[in-house]
Amino acid sequence: MMAAVRLLLRTVSSSSFSCVHSGFGATLLRVSPSCSSRPKTQKRHAAHFTYQPDPVPAEYGPTVKMNLFQSVTSALDNRLATDPTAVIFGEDVAFGGVFRCTVGLRDKYGKDRVFNTPLCEQGIVGFGIGVAAAGATAIAEIQFADYIFPAFDQIVNEAAKYRYRSGNLFDCGNLTIRAPWGCVGHGSLYHSQSPEAFFAHCPGLKIVVPRGPIQAKGLLLSCFADKNPCIFFEPKILYRAAVEQVPTEPYHIPLSQAEVVQEGSDMTFVAWGTQVHVMREVATMAQEKLGVSCEVIDLRTILPWDVETICKSVVKTGRLLISHEAPVTGGFAAEISSTVQEQCFLNLEAPITRLLISDCGHDDLSSELLPLTDCYLCVFENGHELQ
């Protein structure tokens, strides 16, 4: 894909471009039909992104090489070892789960603490609410985020409201719901969805999406410790693709704090999960090809989200691009865009751009992932505005 972009930039004159509004909700540049230089077979998708590991953390003690699912296992192991009330339950978790995140835990802690449930998401979450309300730590697994919707009523009408409706006499704050999430490249309709925006409309929940193994373990342990019900979405494309040196001892990464993973001065990129790595790659391309300095921010917690960090960056750069894997209409990018527009209006140098999945959703494999090319061409246009 890089070779294709180089060819595109070398051979296509500026007169060969026209501005269009893409199906991904972003204003992009498109080569005119008369131009034969555009490589039609080199379209690259987010599944082919280059994973950029975090630096080895020195403050948390010794580390071991882990991929993302192993870091999740490590977090679960740490919690079970230190909290005798903690239990893990869900479909197939007793033998390790379909993604192997709970492998070995039943043998280590017993079948009373790591056990299978019937194939009933509503029952899994309802049971978790009862366990948490009784004072234990409930760790529920939904096998795929796409199948969390049968539990929607239990999550939104029960878990999220339990503390408020009882006047803080009761709560289920010890409940954490884990679910594999996002695009993977071959999941199509029912194994590719990113449903975080559905739950972001509901006060009383915390929603977290990590970008890699170090983040996954620290954020998951923080969810266990938090006194509010948490939904922890795990980017399944990163389960084995993301490898880092992860501390073996427990550590916590604060919730509701975004992280600036790459500083810049001309544009602000906001993403979470897998798209953080896509946007970091786009930022590198923009710097190398255009001299455009892009600041990349990992939102990490969707609800409650870190307004201050995002707005501080936009005040500095004057431009904002938001990217996620969920459809454009009602996606969480709209909430970010609206808030930034309200709070940073006088600082904006250009309209806020959203680069998202079309409202058709993951109707076929070709539309399942965000094309990195579109990300780059969007930056290309904005880069020319900076010249």
Catalytic annotation, residues: 121, 191
**Residues recorded for the chain:** 387
Q: Which residues contact 24 (CB under 8 A, 6 or more apart)?
A: 328, 355, 356, 357, 358, 370, 371, 374
For residue 318, how many other CB atoms are within 10 A of its CB? 16
Count CB-CB contacts under 10 A for residue 63.
16
How far apart, in whole angstroms, are the C-alpha atoms of residue 126 and residue 137?
Answer: 14
b/e 83-122 (16+ beta carbons within 10 angstroms → b): eeebbbbbbebbebbebbbbeebbeebeeebbeebeeebe
Helix (H, G, I), strand (E, B) or coil at 367: helix
Closest by CA to 349, choosing from 361, 340, 339, 358, is 340
